[in-house]
Structure 1
Amino acid sequence: MPYPVTLRQLHYFCVLAEELNFRRAAERLFISQPPLSRQIRILEDALGTPLFERCPAGPAYPVTLTEAGARLLPMALQQLQHMDTMLQHFSGAGSDAPSGHPAPGSPPAAAGRASNAHHASASNHPSGGKHAFANNPASTSNHASGDKRASGRQHTSGNNHAGGQRAMNRRAISDNAPRPVLLRLGLTPVIDAAQFAWIKPVLATRMPHVRLDVLRQGSTQLVRNLLHGRLDAAIIGTPAMTGDLQITPLHREPLMACLASSHPLARKRQLSLQAIAGEPVFWFERRRNPVYYDHCQHIFGRHQFNPHRLVEPADHHVLLGLVASGQGIALVPSSLRTTRRPGLAFRRLAEGDELAIDVVLASHAQGYNQHTGRILDSLQQLLRQQASGFQRVP
């Protein structure tokens, strides 16, 4: 039985949930608005509930997510991530060349057999070698002709030998060149990815043999993939359950209050948990990071902070879109304040340091091959330099 919901519909839904505007979402998807509207309607009919509230045309964000839409969003993003992971896993898979083919530069088998036959005939002559032809003109003529043919064969063999030598030289040079190395790096979407955008170009310049694959997932998922050998290292937010992984501290991200710029509280320069306690607040579900969730719950309890909570989308771009539309206030890492999105205001939070996220590089303490180990050592050094500000990383 075919599924009533398609990945295309989920993809369209996620883009619209981020843009909250049919026109901009359609432009991002390179389609016109009617097909987008039609697929969203089909998705809503399949699920039996509206996912968006349509607002009159004209405002900057003419649609908003319903409660059902907010619940669907993290699940839809997860399904799309699973599909991306599957495609990455099987992309580039190919079969090896069949065995039994001659090596490049090797002489043809027929030439080898002819040369062997000639030498065998000469060595088996009763008088032995060239003296057998000295008193026999016919033999001498045949020998001369044979010499020419042999010379031709030797010349051909020499060319083959030279070609084989050149191939061997090329292989030797190739063997001495750095082998291509795949570095699988995880990056949590909780923090602004722009602050780590320098990693790929810097590695490409300093270590061109390294191919970097970046996986964007929550910290808990990244740790799980790291422990199961599906990643080489991951930049995550802590507190988090990291097991016996090696942790390299990078920097600290205090939380800030993010709210619509039209909100009355946006007029204040600093807010507190008590100041926003009466507002709907986006907050993540415990399963996404139980350790950090419990850590924050302890702080919330100490400050008697218990607002009405909204389900926080896993993608911070979607979250910021919801905040800008006035649906609630979010507590976000301070790096997101550099986001250039209209309709947002970022304000310092009095308890921001208590709720801070420590950004770290998680990796295995041992078990890497020498190539990956050296690359990770260099990456750790670059990350420390960038975090400390001792050296500007281009």
Structure 2
Amino acid sequence: MDRQKLPTLKQLQCFLAVAEELNFRRAAEKMNMTQPPLTRQIQCLEETIGCSVFSRSTHAVQLTPAGILLASKAQTLISELSQLVHSLRNGQHSLRIGMTNMLDFQRINRFSSSIKQMEENEQVVIHADASRKLLMSLMSGEIDLVFSGEKALVDSSLVYTKIHTEPLMTVIPESHPAASLQTVAMEDVSDIPLFWFPRNYNVGYFDKCDAIFKRLRYELKKIKEPEDLLMLLNSVAKGKGIALMPQSMSHSTINGLCYRPLTKEYNQKLNIDVYLVHRINEDRKQVVDAINQIIKLSD
């Protein structure tokens, strides 16, 4: 058996906190610890994997190429381990809720307190993934409820209830002239490509936005969007393109990029409708009660 030393869960959690904040002080506050122990966790992680994950200067903290790769995998590892622990602990008595990873529900005021309660409730297991994958798991009975970004999978066995509309933000290089604007129209960034995703990732969201793109007064150039968020943000910061990102996800600070709201005209068109989805014949009290509670929050 390979007994190679591996990073600890705590090291990965500390690493992700710094990767998101790009600031050791803020990351320590996020982890409810002081900065020296957090720094030691990062140092131990780097010693374990044999390379640096951050480049540090007196002015900035940036991810190294190894750090970007680790960040793209670490959250999935932690989430899968968390789901396994919850499943083992709770057996078949858990309420299994899927939440699209398009949004950060902790940063949406109407849901933040309820999501926190769910996470603290040992009888609730939360799965984060792409909407389409979650809906397929819902149809197969592996999940009880899904928070879906748009109607990512249409099937007669599923019931969709709209519970929220999430605004989109433009993510643009700081060097671009549109960075000086308070709100940005698509025409303001017509000279730079848009990072975009394949249609099969989320058919409903893709088609909604594509219909708007086709009515633009210019030809929109689209380039393939990196699957990892940090890689996407770094590409924008380097001036390779712009991105459209949900407001709740627009908080990572990276040198060279900025977030700007869309103009009122585009804000009303380019957004993400969030749906609570359940199976059509759902009658279990635990699930029905959860549906009613979540819908009440959205009123």
The verdict on a shared fold, with TM-score over 0.5 as the criterion, is yes
| Distance in 1 (alpha carbons) for counterparts of 2:269 and 2:18 | 35
Match of 1:33 among 16, 36, 39: 39
**Aligned partner of 2:183: which letter?**
Q
Question: 1:78 deviation in Å?
Answer: 1.6
Match of 1:379 among 278, 293, 297: 293
Question: Which residue is equivalent to 2:188?
Answer: 275
**Which segments of 5 or more consecutive residues in structure 2 lack a partner in the other structure?**
none
Higher strand share: 2
| Distance in 1 (alpha carbons) for counterparts of 2:225 and 2:64 | 11
Question: Which residue is equivalent to 1:88?
Answer: 86
Given the superposition, is the C-alpha separation of residues 353 and 69 from structure 1 closer, same or farther in structure 2, using an over 3 Å criterion? farther
Question: 1:198 deviation in Å?
Answer: 4.3
Question: 1:18 deviation in Å?
Answer: 0.8
Secondary structure of the 1:91 match is: helix
8 Å contact kept, 1:247–1:362: yes
State whether structure 2 residue 275 is matched by structure 1 residue 363.
Answer: no
| Distance in 2 (alpha carbons) for counterparts of 1:210 and 1:40 | 33
Matches within 5 A, 1:213-232: 213-232=125-144
| Distance in 2 (alpha carbons) for counterparts of 1:361 and 1:247 | 6
State whether structure 2 residue 202 is matched by structure 1 residue 196.
Answer: no
Matches within 5 A, 1:156-171: none
Given the superposition, is the C-alpha separation of residues 221 and 10 from structure 1 closer, same or farther in structure 2, using an over 3 Å criterion? farther
8 Å contact kept, 2:182–2:261: yes
Secondary structure of the 1:366 match is: coil
Question: Which residue is equivalent to 1:73?
Answer: 71
State whether structure 2 residue 226 is matched by structure 1 residue 311.
Answer: yes
| Distance in 1 (alpha carbons) for counterparts of 2:160 and 2:290 | 13
State whether structure 2 residue 205 is matched by structure 1 residue 330.
Answer: no
| Distance in 2 (alpha carbons) for counterparts of 1:41 and 1:306 | 43
Secondary structure of the 1:57 match is: coil
Under a length normalisation based on structure 1, what TM-score does the superposition of the two structures give?
A: 0.56
Work out which of the two has the higher radius of gyration on C-alpha atoms and give 1 or 2.
1
Given the superposition, is the C-alpha separation of residues 383 and 4 from structure 1 closer, same or farther in structure 2, using an over 3 Å criterion? same
Given the superposition, is the C-alpha separation of residues 282 and 65 from structure 1 closer, same or farther in structure 2, using an over 3 Å criterion? farther
Q: What is the identity percentage for the equivalent residue pairs of Structure 1 and Structure 2?
A: 26
| Distance in 1 (alpha carbons) for counterparts of 2:193 and 2:40 | 33
**Aligned partner of 1:357: which letter?**
I
Question: 1:305 deviation in Å?
Answer: 2.2
Question: Which residue is equivalent to 1:63?
Answer: 61
Q: Quick one: higher RCO (CA 8 Å, sep 6+), 1 or 2?
A: 2
Given the superposition, is the C-alpha separation of residues 63 and 210 from structure 1 closer, same or farther in structure 2, using an over 3 Å criterion? closer
Aligned residues: CA RMSD: 4.3
Aligned length: 280
Question: 1:301 deviation in Å?
Answer: 5.9
8 Å contact kept, 1:251–1:359: yes
Under a length normalisation based on structure 2, what TM-score does the superposition of the two structures give?
A: 0.70
Secondary structure of the 1:6 match is: coil
**Aligned partner of 1:252: which letter?**
T
